[in-house]
Amino acid sequence: MRKSLLAALAAVVVVTGCASVRDSRLNPFNWFGRSEKAAAVAAEPVRDEGRVPVAQVTELFVEPTVGGAIIRAKGLPPTQGWYAAELIQEEVEKPGELVFRFVLKQPAAAVSGTPMSREVTVATFVSDFKLEGVRTITVTGSDNARTTRRR
């Protein structure tokens, strides 16, 4: 009876400690919060492969993974069929900031459609080494940008 009571008490103590870890900075799932709208940054068209910035960046997520994080963004081009999407890292002067430009290639035939049918999702992996000291991650398009900050 005593052993089971002690085991139950120990389990309760351990489980209550999980709440503090869940909300702490040590938990990788708490590294970056929700994204928010940011001012668009004027950028010249990408010269390589004829790609241009996406019209709107609608979502931005930073998902922790082993050895770093996956930066995933969803964009909304003006028509359907855009392809060859990529997040290209920009050079920034501010320390602690990563900026990516969401670029893609225009289709030969432009077909309009619903916003859901035009969505394009792109992701890139960033190592823990590159994330060290980073407080802000921004993904820019031609009309807007989205930013997420470390909690």
Structure tokens at 25: 């900075």
Q: Which of helix, strand or coil describes residue 83?
A: strand
pLDDT in tens, 14-64: 666 665 555 555 555 555 656 656 655 555 544 557 899 999 999 999 999
**Distance between CA atoms of 67 and 71, rounded to whole angstroms?**
13
Question: Taking the complete model, does pTM exceed 0.85, yes or no?
Answer: no
